[in-house]
Structure 1
Amino acid sequence: MRHPLSRRTTLLLWPLLAAFALPASAVQVTDNLDLGGAIRARLDYDPDRDLSEFGFDTAFLTAAYTSDSWIGAAKYRFYGKHYPFDYTDEVGDISFAEYAWLGYRFDADHQVQAGLIPVPFGLQPYYGSTFFETLGSVIGMEDAQDIGIKYTQQSGAWNLQAAWFAMPAEQGHGTSRGGTTYGTGVASADAYVVDGSDNHEKDILVARLARSLELGSWTSEIGVSALTSTLENQDTGDDGHRHALALHYLGTHGPWGVQMLAARQEMTPENPGSDKLVTFGSFDGTFNVAAKGNLYVADLSYTLPGEYGWLSGVKLYANYSHFTKDVSGFEDSQRFIAGSSFTFGPLWIALEWLHGKHDPYIGGGSYTQSLGAGGSDRWENQLYSNIGYYF
């Protein structure tokens, strides 16, 4: 059945598409409230899979409110009809919120936020320069959002973020049983996931402490993050746990940038079957992740100064992420991305070469098992580009 909002969503996109002919700018509704959004296209090319697709990627709408004391932000995304969601009929058949929160600033250095909030774990907001993101994004660490409350305090060079999340993001509209969300999190497995589990994550406690400093000629940040939560299994009724710890470094020196992260994740689910796997989900799908493992990320970037006609903001980067798994026989997952992002006239573009092994999103291997026991036991390649008009 088609989503009843699909037709209205499609009609909404037509005036947004017309905006490509106009200068990019957010709409300032009042002195405090701005509305905006984007329309994006994507390119996927992999001759080994006879994959050559170019079309609509997503549209999203944003709102941001800022005053002396009150702050807030929201972002809602629409997908569907086009690859990789071409199994749906209309744009909007898959849709969900990325974030939606309200906050209060006690002063310039202290604030609290409540709602659907980004989880403050590791490098912020992403684990590198890539658009496609790292393996951290598919094991529930990078670019994750949950529902709860977060306190932020800036004390000189020190930044503290502490949060309690009652639950993960609510399911949006889509076809997946537990994966219709933006950020990846513990989920109820769809029927196609062999050895899938049905866990509900709750009472998520997260703390992140970071310090800015100068290391020689490098402007740097070092930090540590910790996460603990309860995994309530819906089949057995018993509670397991999830624990994660991360160390990170961020440094800039002129046009050069370096980001590094090392993280440990341990989950002890009370599944009726294997306790070596936990099902995660996002973007209308679910897949298994090894319950225990380490994540390593390294990112190097270089930003070209100046403008070159319509071309500006050119950034070159390379990113490597590696997820090692404790269980003997489970194959490590690896992802290497080399690419560039830049502004071309009114468009922002990312062009990336994806190179992955036992990666659910690169090469068409095992989507459901690559982050668990493993998938295609060879390096896979794909050319990927995302082209966006932001307003």
Structure 2
Amino acid sequence: MSATLARFIRCITLVPMLGAFAAPSMAVQVTDNLNLGGAVRARWDYDPDRDIQKFNFDTAFLTATYTSDTWIGAAKYRFYGRAYPYQYTAHVGDIQFAESAWIGYRFNPEQQVHVGLNQVPFGLQPYFGSTFFETLGNVIGLEDLSQVGIKYIQQRGDWNLQTGYYLRPAWQGEGTSNGATYSSVVSEADDYVADGSNNQERHTLVVRLAKALEVGTWTAEIGLSGLSSALENQDTHDEGRRNALAVHYLGKNGPWGVQLQAARQQMSPRNPGSDERVTFGGFDGTYNVASRGNLYVADLSYEVGGKYLFEQVSGVKLYANYSAFDKSADEFKTSQRIILGTSFSLNKLWIATEWLYGKNDPYIGGSSYTQSLAAGGSNQWENQVYMNIGYYF
């Protein structure tokens, strides 16, 4: 990254504290079809058990979208660093990576194709629930997953078909770890990961079929997804497999929303040691995930209508989310995550506040980062509070 860009990124980290409430919208419509934008976000972390109380810069990202009757596309690039939990880096931008970068073509209103770094169509879309922090599905590599390939989408009446072929995961960005990507993907383990592995995921095939329906006063979607890929071990040079299957339900009745999902992930790596673990990475870290297990997700939400506090607060949403990763190996401890939260807009800011409660969760309460999703961590319920404040332009 150039010195000029580095200085620019360091400057915009001051926006959340110094000018976000009064800053005018800076969205740039380059043409009738092309828009450029982005966001600057701050975060607050509070964990009294670990004596953590931090309010600082979270991330900055830049976006581009293109929309016409035929050609479409989107790109997003993220910058992290310097502030908690990346205080070990010197500058904003020391950790950076692409979230998406794809172009697409609409054959007609019902059919389109996307090529490039785009979201893999698996399970509930675009996320496995209402939370900002996301579910355990994210850290085991199924939720909010982007890879490099081609995706085809077809809408026919109440049926939606999405199918894709992905040659490889996202390109590595910059960071201090082998996990310098936005999505949680199969990675080479860093030295600090005990019993780590070195696999590369290639040739991912995925199919998602969903049907919209009405049940009484509820509008709903039910769906089935399947994923299969090759796991190429870089030590043994043997090829294993990664397979996943999910069923999901999404329901809406006025302000109420329900999302349910059950998924099975089964990996058969060809590691030189144990095949019970596969190393994943993302957000500048790598960690082990159990090769086989079931993921369960349940999400309940309620949208509060109207505007409040002199019409400055709107779009209030309350939600509760539970996710569990139940591993097949008898000696491996189940990972669980509960999130109670709310999101809303405050003038030009978008804010999410969440209470995180987890057991054997690598991201909550200081349980083992590298082993919680495999053999397990502290095996105790831990909690903390998380808030994200974003100014989007």
TM-score normalised per structure 2:
0.97
SS in 2 for 1:312: strand
Match of 2:192 in 1: 192
- 8 A Cα contact 1:214 1:220, kept in partner: yes
Superposition pairs of residues 51-200 of structure 1, within 5 angstroms: 51-177=52-178, 179-200=179-200
Q: Which amino acid aligns with 1:181?
A: T
Residue number in structure 2 paired with 1:30: 31
The structure-2 alpha-carbon separation of the partners of 1:27 and 1:321, relative to structure 1 and needing over 3 Å to count, comes to same
C-alpha displacement of 1:67? 1.0
Q: Secondary structure at the match of 2:137?
A: helix
Letter in 2 for 1:61: L
Q: Give 1:6 deviation, angstroms.
A: 5.8
Indicate conservation of the 8 Å contact 1:6/1:91, yes or no. Answer: no
- Structure 2 partner of 1:49: 50
What SS does structure 1 have at the residue aligned with 2:274?
coil
Is contact 1:348–1:388 with CA below 8 Å preserved after alignment? yes
- 1:247 has 2:247 as partner: yes
Of 334, 346, 349, which residue of structure 2 is paired with 1:347?
Answer: 349
Distance 2:82 2:263 in 1: 36
Matched to 2:147, the amino acid is: D
Rounded to whole Å, the distance in 2 between the matches of 1:99 and 1:231 is 23
Deviation per residue, 1:287-343 (Å, 9 max, x gap): 000000000000000000111121110000000001000001100000000000000
Cα distance in structure 1, aligned partners of 2:365 and 2:71? 45
* 1:256 and 1:303 in contact (8 A); partners too: yes
Question: Contact between 2:81 and 2:93, CA under 8 Å: does it hold in 1?
Answer: yes
- How far residue 14 of structure 1 moved from its aligned partner, in angstroms, is 3.0
Report the secondary structure of 1:99's partner residue.
strand
Contact 1:135 1:323 in 2 (8 A): yes
Instruction: Work out the CA distance in 2 between the residues paired with 1:15 and 1:84.
Output: 18
Secondary structure of the corresponding residue to residue 138 of structure 2? helix
Q: CA deviation at 1:346?
A: 1.0
Query: Aligned pair in 2 of structure 1 residues 157, 13: CA closer, same or farther (>3 Å)?
Result: farther
Asked if 2 retains the 8 angstrom alpha-carbon contact of 1:118 and 1:144, the reply is yes
In structure 2, the residue matched to 1:329 is 331
Cα pair 2:10 2:91 within 8 Å, conserved:
no
Q: Please say if residues 281 and 287 of structure 2, whose CA atoms lie closer than 8 Å, have aligned partners that are also in contact.
A: yes
3-state SS, counterpart of residue 241 of structure 1? strand
Are residues 1:14 and 2:39 paired? no
Q: Which residue of 1 aligns with 2:223?
A: 223
Where does structure 2 lack aligned partners over 5 or more consecutive residues?
A: none
Give the secondary-structure state (helix, strand or coil) at the position aligned to 2:134: coil
Matches within 5 A, 1:356-367: 356-367=358-369
Q: Is the 8 A contact 1:6 1:92 kept in 2?
A: no
Q: 1:31/1:288 Cα in 2 relative to 1: closer, same or farther (>3 Å)?
A: same
- Partner SS, residue 289 of structure 2: strand
What pairs up with 1:256-295 in 2 under 5 angstroms? 256-295=256-295
Q: CA deviation at 1:215?
A: 1.0
How many residue pairs get aligned? The number is 387
Q: Does 1:313 align with 2:315?
A: yes
1:82-112 Cα offsets, whole Å, 9 max, x none, are: 0000000000000000000000000111000
Using the alignment, how far apart are the partners of 2:285 and 2:336 within structure 1? 20
Question: Aligned runs of 1:204-215 on 2, under 5 Å?
Answer: 204-215=204-215
**Distance in 1 between residues matched to 2:7 and 2:266, nearest whole Å:** 43
Residue matched to 2:370? 368
Whole-angstrom distance in 2 between the partners of 1:233 and 1:76? 29
In 1, distance between residues paired with 2:235 and 2:2? 33
Give the drift of 1:8: 2.0
Cα separation, 2, equivalents of 1:144 and 1:307: 34
SS of match in other structure, 1:376: coil
C-alpha distance 25-223 of structure 1, shift in aligned 2 (>3 A): farther
- Consecutive unaligned residues in structure 1, runs of 5 or more: none
**Contact 2:9/2:93 (CA < 8 Å) preserved in 1?**
no
CA-to-aligned-CA distance 1:139-196 (integer Å, 9 cap, x gap): 000001000000000001000000000000010000112x100010111100000000
C-alpha displacement at 1:23, in angstroms?
3.0
Give the deviation of 1:19 after TM superposition: 6.5
Residue 302 in 1 paired to residue 299 in 2?
no
Match of 1:385 in 2: 387
Contact preservation (8 Å) 1:6, 1:90: no
Give the CA deviation at 1:24.
3.1
SS in structure 1 of the partner of residue 91 of structure 2? coil
For 2:369, the aligned partner's letter is: Y
Distance change >3 Å, CA 55–CA 288, structure 1 → 2: same
Give the corresponding residue for 2:2. 5
Shift of 1:22: 2.5
Taking the aligned partners of 2:108 and 2:34, their CA distance within structure 1 comes to 20
Over aligned residues, Cα RMSD in angstroms? 1.1
Structure 2 letter corresponding to 1:348: W
Relative to 1, partners in 2 of residues 1:6 and 1:314: Cα closer, same or farther, differing over 3 Å?
farther
The residue type equivalent to 2:119 in the other structure is P
Write the distance in 2 (CA, Å) between the matches of 1:371 and 1:12. 34
